[in-house]
Amino acid sequence: MSAPILSVRGAKKSLGGNPVLKGVDLDLYRGQVSAVLGPSGAGKSTLLRGIAGLEKLDDGQILAGEQVWDDGRHSTRAEARRVGVVFQDYALFPHLTVEKNIAFGLKGRMSNEAASERVSALIKQAELTPFTRSYPHELSGGEQQRVALARALAPRPDIILLDEPFSSLDRRLRADLRAQTMAAIREAGAAALIVTHDADEAFETADTLFLMEDGRIIQSGAPSEVYGRPVSLTSARLLGDINVINSVARSGKMKTIFGEIDAPSGYDGVEMTVLARPEDLHLAEDGTDFLIEDIRIRQGRQRIRATAPDGSLWIVELPLTRTTRKGETLRLALNESSISVLKA
């Protein structure tokens, strides 16, 4: 892999006396989209603002190649960093037209003729031609988002930062604009970092996923790896519903409501936690009986809440081809190849 275009090392930042970043490390690579996923208050937006130069670190470093942008003592001005930012509220200038909003960051960077050509190309690419002379208040949310992205891409930045840019849009429009935005960023060859609290958004946009909790990155990797092999219960819950079994490893086995399953070697007598996603359960004639409490349809599948024999509540996901009813008993087995087993 090539060298990162940007590295964050040991980033620390307090706001109002409260630690918000507690030693964050991450790398961004040209042509790749990374996502930071975490709950509100995890420090995601503060990290983004630090990279953009809108917040100065208390300690740690932000490095663009060999150039130090911030080391806790000196900080490169935001306008001197090759970074484009798309904010949650888009932050468009209300008194400027679409054309002038996009052109704003090009002042002093290129000739007027070159700037005009660049703006025209971005307006066409973002499908904004009918709105060239419109003002932000005359645009829909999706149109404003496209203007904000075009403005961020205009100076050809090395890095694009997006702070929950799709959260105010409806689901259908959000999905369409996500795809268009990521395609435009990858085409530009920039490194991108999107911060979000929406797991679906992170999965649909990211090449690399960073999970953030309480000011720290707690896991990172390819989305499929992070989802399928969480390093902790906290990591697992950030990415969706998880079912939990507590057991003790004895002689290579663990007792569960599904019978004995294999335990990792070297943990004899140790308390273990078994993590199973809703899709890790399947119907089986020799399975364990679960009583259906509730059924919801989600993205073409059944999301079922069911009670196990020990009284624990489980979330199960099954295809719609199998009709189910509240109060029915399901016989379920565990797919051992896809579960995660961690030391408790």
151 assigned to some structural domain: yes
pLDDT tens profile 161-187: 999 887 777 777 777 778 888 888 888
Domain final position from 188, 214, 233 = 233
Q: What 3 state SS string does 182-227 have?
A: HHHHHHHCCEEEEEECCHHHHHHHCCEEEEEECCEEEEEECHHHHH
Q: Which domain holds residue 209?
A: 6-233
Identify whether 185 is part of a domain: yes
Cα separation of 21 and 217, whole Å?
Answer: 9
Per residue in 206-224, pLDDT (tens digit) is: 999 999 999 999 999 999 9
Question: Are 261 and 300 in the same domain?
Answer: yes
Which residues in 308-324 are b (16+ Cβ under 10 Å) and which e?
beeeeebbbbbeeeeeb
**Mean of the pLDDT values across residues 236-262?**
95
285-301 residue pLDDT tens: 999 999 999 999 988 89
* 194 lies in the same domain as 263: no
Instruction: Tell which of 185, 206, 233 closes a domain.
Output: 233
Are 124 and 252 in a shared domain? no
Q: Report the percentage of the chain scoring pLDDT > 70.
A: 99
50/135 same-domain check: yes
